[in-house]
Chain A
Amino acid sequence: DAGVIQSPRHEVTEMGQEVTLRCKPISGHNSLFWYRQTMMRGLELLIYFNNNVPIDDSGMPEDRFSAKMPNASFSTLKIQPSEPRDSAVYFCASSLGEMAQGFREKLFFGSGTQLSVL
């Protein structure tokens, strides 16, 4: 398996522009997570999906952020409009975990998207 695939690897954009980050989870995994990593705040969970359904989006910073998972093999994280403080590395991760058992299985991370908002 190719692992979790994120695109683009790097994104540089100007303040106010829309940014879309993409993620393809590992085939067969039913949970997907979006994390943001910064020096100041470390690794923060933004949102996670189980069976394509958003379960908890309490980590999403504000309304400018939105995430979708239209099917089991694709998810997007959108920022509109983007701001310089959104600059960070955004990771997508997937796992095979049943909600009843909780997310005990290990997370498989993508290589991340380095976002720079100028």
Chain B
Amino acid sequence: AQSVTQPDIHITVSEGASLELRCNYSYGATPYLFWYVQSPGQGLQLLLKYFSGDTLVQGIKGFEAEFKRSQSSFNLRKPSVHWSDAAEYFCASYSSASKIIFGSGTRLSIRP
């Protein structure tokens, strides 16, 4: 069955430091992959998506993600985080089962 795993429940990084949030998917073929961000009290907002082609995907707010088929991973990165990046981040995948499956989320805290 299709699944999305985010192994880190909570991550704290210093402002200005680099960030990498992990995401692993389980699906036979290449799924469509997404990263969403949820600010407190808000709905989810799409950061970026991967369907095919270049495995390094650029998104909004300076985020990028790299699809690695060999590792079944789609990790989210940002070279320098800002205090406003504190939020919860969700990885998601879509398969031919016509469902978008979300990971359990990673809460990001920023240390001043």
Interface-located stretch among A12-20, A62-70, A100-108: A100-108
> Which of B43, B49, B90, B99 is within 8 Å of A56, CB to CB?
B99
Q: Chain A's nearest CB lies how many Å from the CB of B14? A: 26
> Quick one: given A106-B34, A106-B49, are A56 and B42 in contact (CB under 8 Å)?
no
Complex: chain A residue closest to B100, CB-CB: A103
> Quick one: given A42-B102, A42-B103, A43-B105, are A102 and B96 in contact (CB under 8 Å)?
yes
**Contact residues in B for A42 (Cβ distance below 8 Å):** 102-105
Q: Chain B's nearest CB lies how many Å from the CB of A40? A: 10
B98 and A103 form a contact (CB under 8 A) = yes
Number of interface residues of A (CB under 8 A): 21
1/0 per residue, CB under 8 A from B, across A91-113: the answer is 10100000100111011011110
- In residues 55-112 of chain B, which contact A (Cβ within 8 Å)? 90, 94, 96, 98-105
Number of interface residues of B (CB under 8 A): 22
> Quick one: given A4-B43, A43-B90, A91-B43, are A107 and B98 in contact (CB under 8 Å)?
no
- In residues 1-59 of chain B, which contact A (Cβ within 8 Å)? 32, 34, 36, 41-46, 49, 51
B94 and A106 form a contact (CB under 8 A) = no
Give Cα distance in the complex from A43 to B45, angstroms. 14
**Contact residues in B for A104 (Cβ distance below 8 Å):** 32, 49, 51, 94
A55 and B98 form a contact (CB under 8 A) = yes
- The 10 closest A-B CB pairs, nearest first, are A109-B43, A42-B104, A106-B46, A43-B102, A109-B44, A111-B43, A110-B43, A104-B32, A91-B43, A111-B42
Q: A103-B99, A110-B43 are in contact. List 18 more A-B contacts (CB 8 A).
A: A42-B103, A42-B104, A43-B44, A43-B105, A45-B101, A48-B99, A56-B99, A91-B43, A91-B44, A99-B98, A102-B32, A103-B94, A103-B98, A106-B49, A107-B46, A109-B43, A111-B41, A112-B43
6 A-B residue pairs with CB within 8 Å? A42-B105, A45-B99, A45-B101, A56-B99, A91-B43, A104-B94
Residues of B within 8 A of A (CB): 32, 34, 36, 41-46, 49, 51, 90, 94, 96, 98-105
